[in-house]
């Protein structure tokens, strides 16, 4: 049986597991919100540790926190990340909508560890490090949680999603170079269309990713504004002058991203439009990835009875009953992630609309869905790139066969025999299962020599 220790808060005493670093307020939340399995994302905890470090440094510089206490708080934050002590942050997403309990969870764990470090180092403090009075100095949950949301979002985009997306773009650039000069039939409405170079088709995929990347980069700008310094309702009560600007500068130094204080703290606390806007760019990326994955699996369909114009890597057996079957599983995983991201976008939009008066109280669910989208997109793009896209090979013989059997090549005859006569050629060739050349000559629209002169599919791109 676990041993317990007694902790207290403003409501009284609480029994906390002896090995836990958290205190009374975390324990109350842990017991009162046993809802689901979704814990506060690690990215949020890491962001809190950054802002607690920055706040301690600035509080010491402004003379409202003992420098030794600030150093212990900073060292405690570093040790949590360095030793991966995330088991001490057990709270669920489904808690208070302001994220107050997760802010206090961080405050309590940092205070506990800071006091432990002081004891280890033989440092005598005038009073023990307190979760509220020291770690949370000059702050409120109402400005720290939205600040942590922005730090976590920017970090996840810059350090994970965007580099992964750039690698897939590079893969498509390489495939474009490898397939220069390969001409195939284009398709619109799932029907045969005029020719296209395979490199041109791939460039379309690349363009979808590059456009999404630019949109995501553009969406980061509003996320660089931080709410810290607004405290409870945006007025900055109990916050020393200059704290907001200085702490944003510290966060920028700690993260390498150009964070700034939001000039309008009232908007920063209640408005979540920056995250809605940014996730809209993620949804656009998801939509483009859905299109690319569908193209790839259609082109790879078969291997004998489908289009079969490309081959993709065979990574695992595709059926428990059909021997030798291989399925486009990476495409399926990527499209499922796209669906999840689109669903998350709806949840984020609804959550952002609940900014009643001076505070939004749907922040945990909003950032949980946002970070899940970034994480899933990052992992799915990396997997698709490594296990599918890099191994795409054009089946050139199949492409050539399909190209020369396409009735839509008749389009190149329009300037010579007119649209309606060209349509008659295509219909005759289709009904009689003959070539466009034979149909055109039989109808007397062109001589054999003239047809051969103007009918050059490879030059139609």
DSSP code, position 133: I
CA distance 370 to 120: 40
Known catalytic residue: 189?
yes
Catalytic site residue from 141, 160, 257, 319: 319
Catalytic site residue from 2, 150, 185, 189: 189
> At a CB cut-off of 8 Å and minimum separation 6, what does 281 contact?
212, 215, 216, 218, 219
CA distance 430 to 435: 8
Known catalytic residue: 116?
no
Residue with tokens 């009904």: 431
Tell me the DSSP string of 47-79.
HHHHHHHHHHHHHHHTTSS-HHHHHHHHHHHHH
Contact between 227 and 263 (Cβ < 8 Å): no
Q: What are the CB-based long-range contacts (under 8 Å, 24+) for 166-174?
A: 166/213, 167/382, 167/385, 168/209, 168/381, 168/384, 168/385, 168/389, 169/206, 169/209, 169/210, 169/213, 171/385, 171/389, 171/390, 172/202, 172/203, 172/205, 172/206, 172/209, 172/389, 173/206
Which residues participate in catalysis according to the annotation? 189, 319
């Amino acid at each position: 049986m676990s041993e317990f220790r007694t902790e207290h808060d403003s409501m009284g005493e609480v029994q906390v597991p002896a090995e836990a670093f958290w205190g009374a307020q975390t324990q109350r939340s842990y017991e009162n919100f046993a809802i689901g399995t979704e814990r506060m994302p690690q990215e949020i905890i890491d962001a809190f540790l950054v802002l607690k470090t920055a706040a301690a440094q600035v509080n010491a510089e402004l003379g409202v926190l003992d420098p030794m206490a600030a150093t212990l708080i900073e060292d405690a934050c570093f040790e949590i990340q360095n030793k991966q002590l995330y088991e001490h942050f057990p709270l669920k997403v489904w808690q208070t909508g302001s994220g107050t309990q997760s802010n206090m969870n961080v405050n309590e764990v940092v205070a506990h560890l800071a006091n432990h470090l002081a004891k280890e180092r033989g440092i005598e403090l005038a009073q023990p490090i307190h979760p509220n009075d020291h770690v949370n100095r000059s702050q409120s949950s109402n400005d720290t949680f939205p600040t942590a949301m922005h730090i976590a979002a920017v970090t996840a985009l810059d350090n994970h999603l965007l580099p992964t997306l750039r690698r897939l773009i590079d893969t498509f650039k390489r495939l474009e170079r490898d397939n220069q000069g390969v001409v195939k039939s284009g398709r619109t409405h799932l029907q045969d269309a005029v020719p296209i170079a395979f490199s041109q088709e791939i460039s379309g995929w690349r363009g979808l990713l590059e456009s999404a990347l630019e949109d995501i980069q553009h969406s980061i700008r509003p996320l660089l504004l931080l709410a810290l310094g607004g405290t409870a309702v945006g007025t900055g009560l109990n916050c020393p002058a200059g704290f907001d600007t200085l702490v944003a500068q510290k966060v920028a130094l700690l993260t390498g991203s150009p964070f700034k204080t939001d000039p309008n703290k009232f908007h920063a606390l209640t408005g979540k439009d920056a995250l809605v806007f940014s996730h809209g760019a993620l949804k656009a990326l998801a939509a483009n990835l859905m299109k690319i994955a569908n193209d790839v699996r259609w082109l790879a369909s078969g291997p004998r009875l489908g289009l079969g114009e490309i081959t993709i890597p065979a990574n695992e057996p595709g059926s428990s009953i059909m021997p030798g079957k291989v399925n486009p599983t990476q495409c399926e995983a990527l499209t499922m992630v796209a669906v999840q991201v689109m669903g998350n976008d709806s949840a984020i939009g609804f959550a952002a609309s609940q900014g009643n008066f001076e505070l939004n109280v749907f922040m945990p669910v909003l950032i949980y869905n946002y970070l899940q989208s970034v994480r899933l997109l990052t992992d799915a793009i990396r997997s698709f790139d490594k296990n599918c896209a890099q191994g795409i090979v054009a089946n050139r013989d199949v492409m050539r066969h399909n190209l020369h059997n396409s009735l839509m090549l008749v389009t190149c005859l329009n300037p010579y025999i007119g649209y309606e006569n060209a349509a008659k050629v295509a219909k005759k060739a289709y009904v009689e299962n003959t070539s466009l050349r034979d149909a055109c000559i039989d109808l007397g629209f062109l001589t054999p020599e003239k047809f051969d002169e103007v009918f050059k599919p490879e030059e139609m791109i």
